[in-house]
Amino acid sequence: MFTLPDLPYAKDALEPHIDARTMEIHHGKHHAGYTSKLNAAVEGTDMAGKKIEDILSRVSSAGAGVRNNGGGFYNHSLFWTILSPKGGGQPTGELADAIKEAFGSFDAFKEKFSTAAAGQFGSGWAWLIVQDNGMLAVTSTPNQDNPLMDVVDERGTPILGLDVWEHAYYLNYQNRRTDYVDAFFEIINWDEVSKRYAAAR
């Protein structure tokens, strides 16, 4: 049984970058909906009781309900943890070195990630992933797909993700997705991303 994780901060803690009403709807309605529908989709199947990462790695044989709601559950569970009211700035240590190695500089990474997020047609996500060879890469996926899934072209372990579905930003930013992407960089919890990087290597 999958459970909706609590937010690690108050709903208004990320203002003005993400407003409290958006957080309330995004977490309490959308994420809660993905969670309950995922539980319904796996109940009574051989997927029941398995870790979400294991389910997603073989999602091609699991059906659309598991793919969409399992992705929605996992993606949002990651998303809340890599945000912080004390975020922003730049990563340090091994993650900073890895970003420089993969992209040339933090600014070059930021530009590539922002382009992936702003350029994702329709609903979807932008990702920073650790590939099987240990190198970092930026990619994007439609809908609630993610790089763990065996249905995407570029696979890896997500360590940073940005939700670019309209429900994630429309109340505050309307059609200004690029402004939302810029605001995202002001609240990234780089300590958490660094922990995920270390675990994924």
Helix, strand, coil percent values for the chain (each to nearest 5): 50, 10, 40
Whether 37 contacts 106, CB under 8 Å: no
Tokens standing for residue 15: 């203002």
182 closest CA partner among 100, 128, 135, 117: 117
Tokens standing for residue 58: 């073989």
Give the contacts of 126 (CB within 8 A, at least 6 positions apart).
Answer: 113, 116, 117, 120, 138, 139, 140, 161, 162, 164
128 torsion bin: left (phi>0), alpha (psi -120 to 50), beta (else)? beta
User: 83 forms bridges with which residues in the sheet?
Assistant: 188
User: Is 163 among the annotated ligand-binding positions?
Assistant: yes
User: Is 17 among the annotated ligand-binding positions?
Assistant: no
For residue 124, report the phi and psi dihedrals to the nearest 5 degrees: 165, -160
User: Is 76 among the annotated ligand-binding positions?
Assistant: yes
Binding residues for Mn(2+), by number, are 26, 76, 163, 167
Binding residues, by number, are 26, 76, 163, 167
